[in-house]
Amino acid sequence: MLSNYSPESTAECEVAAPGEVLRVRQEELTSVLHLVSGRVQLGILEDGQLRHQLGVVEGPFWLDGASAMLGLPCPVDMVTETRVQLRRQSLDDFLRSVEALPKPAQVLLHDMAIGYRQQTELAVSRLAQDAEARCAQWLLSHAQHDSNGALSVTLSQRKRLIAAQLGIAPETFSRVLRNLREHGLIMGSGNVLKLPEPGALQMVAGGG
């Protein structure tokens, strides 16, 4: 977003080494970062690693211009792929600069910001759905009928090991289990999980 618009060239440049986290998901913005040079990865951090990459941008580029224009938090984690140079502008100064543009340009940039934001949120949502689908598939494949004919799963391994099998972070596995429990698709605590709605869980497993 706003790749052809940059802060005053007199603004001091910051330098970041490869692997540095520039933005954290859902971080409230008080400044806006303009990538002068270098590459930055966009995605989702898990266990300190960018396990889900949604894209790479190269300077010059406004890293969070769309979110700033819409008054929303950052939708993704941003990690430097190479050594980068950045300029930081206060949110108020950035918004004043946008408001100084001709009205048609403001409308165009606002529409582009909405489209960019919607695409990013959709990509993040699909990643979350993918994790839920994998967890649901694992639960169904390990489910057994008890004496009453109900389905249940015994977690015979530590959650960290199960998460590794699924290719997700332990925090993601715990979050998905919590979401499934809140929706009534699993019940119980400890090492035994009951599956009261296997049909609904099957829909989650199929991405439905």
User: What is the pLDDT, as a whole number, of residue 14?
Assistant: 93
- Tens-place pLDDT, residues 25-82: 888 999 999 999 999 999 888 777 787 778 899 999 999 999 999 999 999 999 999 9
Residues 11, 14, 20, CA angle at the centre, nearest 5°? Answer: 150
Looking at every residue in the chain, the average pLDDT score rounds to 87
User: What is the pLDDT, as a whole number, of residue 68?
Assistant: 95
Q: Where are the domains of the chain?
A: 14-100, 128-205
Eight-class DSSP state of 116: H
CATH superfamily of the 14-100 domain: Jelly Rolls (2.60.120.10)
Global model pTM greater than 0.75: no
CA distance 29 to 48: 21
User: What is the pLDDT, as a whole number, of residue 165?
Assistant: 80
Tell me which fold the domain 128-205 belongs to. Arc Repressor Mutant, subunit A (1.10.10)
Residue with tokens 């600069």: 97
- Tens-place pLDDT, residues 99-141: 999 999 999 999 999 999 999 988 887 777 788 898 999 999 9
- CA–CA distances in Å: residue 156 to residues 90, 162, 179, 184, 185: 51, 9, 21, 22, 20
CA distance 119 to 123: 6
Which stretch of DSSP H or E encloses residue 93? helix 91-99
Which stretch of DSSP H or E encloses residue 144? strand 144-145
- Tens-place pLDDT, residues 139-175: 999 999 877 778 999 888 888 888 878 877 787 888 8
